[in-house]
């Protein structure tokens, strides 16, 4: 039997303190460490966080005397290790795998599905995805929140996955012999991605053929297209946005410009099944369309927050309709909420997911990272949509025979309703931004003249996405 030495426990003590306190110092060296663990992380991790007023008590769940990383914890871990060493039948997990599992469990114990720990590999994969370029096989996958199955949503044209025969609808089963069943989507993505030129052995199940397939698939550099655009026969520009990544802003602006250059009478922006993404991106996209005014405001646990505003640098003077459904979440809801509250567009479809909170990424020194829910957000009128979502101006259930993946849009009655909304606006002579005036300031707003850079090292990236519907590229 493979046995681990005391080095595991020693390494765990150092690593656990690093995650909780944000330093490389073991908690044994901090005899005065009795403050709330989360506050210690925010105040000690210089270079990854900003000062959120850790001197104030706030609404903390852990108080003096309830510190997680204490002697009892280490004693119990040593006892558990001793039992494993003496009686466990199989080979034990390596030390780092066990530490990562403890870190993940600690974050999971907060009871917030959006507050998580990323290993170094997982964080690297996440940042690659949001940057719009990565090294993998060229598929976009989504995880069912109930069954945890990983289903391919699309296979990128010209990708290794396409050459290997993978198709949309296939269910991924394993990668290099590792079972993907029940694994969280980011961990699965980390197994499928890798160095360019290497291969990964994938097995997948194709429900349409009731057949299991497998192949060695080469990893290559993949560029992610998050925006597609076309002119409909009605003379209306149709723009689909699948997620809000770092590359999405430029792709969206190019799509808007292309439609306008082709003489579009209006724009339909399709955010159906869009789980969200970077807050920075949705702010920039709204700014490209709207005149000066509030886009969204945030408020943290101390009642402090920011207002992210559009400028007059660029506006779109066309009727706009925004398509949404129950899987349009977070950043999608920020976009739809701004368009609706500002009177700049007609929202069409079904009520959105209802995620009115945002997360921030806090990179740690060892390459891992924490994603923590940091604030509520509010639409320009000061409304929180957490748990309720955004109700469309025109409510339309999607027809049962409609297929959103059909490029011809046959049977897409929601799209037809959006076209009608645009045509009605054209006939009435109204444009998308006539009512886009600044919304009066509310108690949730702390006005800033300029939108801050949300991706600098002091703040970390701010995310507005829903993990229940989140997509990942592998």
Long-range contacts of 410-415, Cβ-Cβ distance < 8 Å, separation of 24 or more: 414/272, 414/323, 414/325, 414/348, 414/349, 415/238, 415/268, 415/270, 415/323
Coil, helix or strand at residue 247:
coil
What tokens does 237 get? 């520009």
Please give the pLDDT value at position 280. Answer: 93
| Reported confidence tier of residue 143, pLDDT bands at 50, 70, 90 | confident
Catalytic residue among 299, 340, 355, 371: 355
Would you call 341 a catalytic residue per the annotation?
A: yes
Give the start-to-end residue ranges of the domains of the chain.
6-111, 133-223, 227-467
- Please check whether the two domains, 133-223 and 227-467, share a CATH topology: no
**What's the CATH architecture for 133-223?**
Roll (2.30)
Alpha-carbon distance of 371 to 386, in angstroms, equals: 19
Identify which of 48-52, 133-137, 157-161, 199-203 has the greatest average pLDDT: 199-203
| Reported confidence tier of residue 128, pLDDT bands at 50, 70, 90 | confident
Would you call 355 a catalytic residue per the annotation?
A: yes
Q: Mean pLDDT, the chain, as a whole number?
A: 82
Please, are residues 311 and 292 in contact by the beta-carbon 8 Å criterion? yes
**pTM (2 d.p.):** 0.75
Catalytic residue among 100, 287, 341, 412: 341
Considering only residues 347 and 26, tell me which one the structure prediction assigns the higher pLDDT: 347
Would you call 301 a catalytic residue per the annotation?
A: no
Which segment of 175-179, 246-250, 304-308, 437-441 scores lowest on mean pLDDT?
437-441
Q: Which residue has the tokens 């590229």?
A: 473
Long-range contacts of 255-259, Cβ-Cβ distance < 8 Å, separation of 24 or more: 255/227, 255/228, 255/229, 256/288, 256/289, 256/316, 258/229, 259/229, 259/231
Considering only residues 294 and 402, tell me which one the structure prediction assigns the higher pLDDT: 294
Please, are residues 108 and 19 in contact by the beta-carbon 8 Å criterion? no
CA dist 165 → 168, 191, 199, 213 (Å)? 10, 19, 15, 9
Considering only residues 447 and 84, tell me which one the structure prediction assigns the higher pLDDT: 84
CA atoms within 13 A on the CB side of 442: 19
Alpha-carbon distance of 327 to 243, in angstroms, equals: 12
- Provide mean pLDDT across the span 149-154: 92
Phi, psi of 320 (to 5 degrees): -130, 140
CA atoms within 13 A on the CB side of 204: 26
Alpha-carbon distance of 67 to 16, in angstroms, equals: 13
What tokens does 182 get? 């029940």
**What's the CATH architecture for 227-467?**
Alpha-Beta Complex (3.90)
- Of the chain, the percentage scoring pLDDT greater than 90 comes to 61
Catalytic residue among 26, 43, 310, 330: 330
What tokens does 384 get? 């929180």
């Amino acid at each position: 039997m493979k046995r681990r030495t005391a080095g595991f426990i020693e390494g765990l003590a150092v690593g656990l303190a690093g995650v909780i306190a944000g330093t490389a110092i073991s908690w044994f060296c901090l005899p005065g460490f009795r403050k709330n663990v989360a506050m210690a992380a925010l105040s000690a991790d210089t270079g990854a966080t900003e000062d959120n007023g850790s001197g104030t008590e706030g609404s903390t769940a852990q108080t003096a005397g309830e510190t997680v990383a204490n002697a009892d914890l280490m004693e119990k871990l040593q006892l558990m290790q001793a039992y494993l060493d003496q009686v466990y039948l199989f080979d034990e997990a390596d030390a780092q795998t066990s530490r990562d599992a403890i870190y993940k469990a600690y974050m999971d114990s907060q009871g917030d599905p959006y507050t998580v720990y990323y290993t170094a590999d997982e964080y690297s994969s996440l940042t690659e995805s949001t940057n719009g370029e990565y090294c993998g096989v060229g598929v976009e996958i989504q995880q069912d929140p109930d069954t945890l199955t990983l289903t391919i949503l699309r296979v990128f044209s010209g990708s290794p996955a396409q050459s290997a025969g993978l198709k949309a609808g296939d269910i991924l089963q394993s990668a290099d012999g590792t079972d993907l069943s029940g694994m969280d989507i980011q961990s699965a993505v980390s197994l499928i991605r890798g160095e360019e030129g290497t291969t990964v052995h994938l097995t997948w199940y194709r429900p349409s053929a009731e057949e299991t397939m497998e192949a060695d698939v080469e990893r290559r550099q993949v560029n992610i297209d998050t925006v597609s655009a076309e002119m409909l026969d009605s003379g209306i520009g149709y723009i689909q946005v699948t997620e809000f990544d770092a590359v999405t802003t430029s792709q969206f602006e190019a799509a808007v410009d292309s439609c306008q250059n082709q003489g579009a009478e209006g724009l339909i922006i399709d955010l159906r099944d869009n789980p969200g993404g970077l807050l920075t991106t949705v702010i920039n996209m709204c700014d490209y369309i709207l005149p000066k005014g509030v886009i969204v405001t945030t408020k943290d646990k101390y009642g402090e927050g920011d207002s992210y505003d559009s400028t007059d640098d660029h506006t779109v003077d066309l009727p706009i309709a925004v398509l949404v459904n129950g899987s349009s979440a977070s950043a999608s809801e920020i976009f739809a909420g701004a368009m609706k509250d500002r009177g700049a567009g007609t929202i069409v479809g079904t009520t959105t997911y209802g995620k009115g909170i945002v997360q921030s990424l806090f990179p740690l020194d060892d390459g891992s990272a924490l994603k923590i829910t940091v604030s509520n957000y509010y639409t320009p009128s000061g409304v929180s949509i957490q748990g309720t979502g955004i109700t469309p101006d025109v409510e339309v259930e999607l027809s049962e025979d409609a297929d959103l993946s059909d490029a011809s849009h046959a049977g897409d009655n929601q799209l037809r309703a959006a076209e009608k909304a645009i045509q009605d606006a054209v006939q009435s002579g109204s444009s998308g931004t006539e009512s886009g005036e600044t919304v009066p300031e509310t108690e949730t707003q702390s006005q800033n003249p300029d939108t801050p850079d949300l991706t600098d090292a002091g703040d970390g990236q701010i995310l507005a996405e829903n993990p229940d519907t989140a997509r990942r590229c592998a």
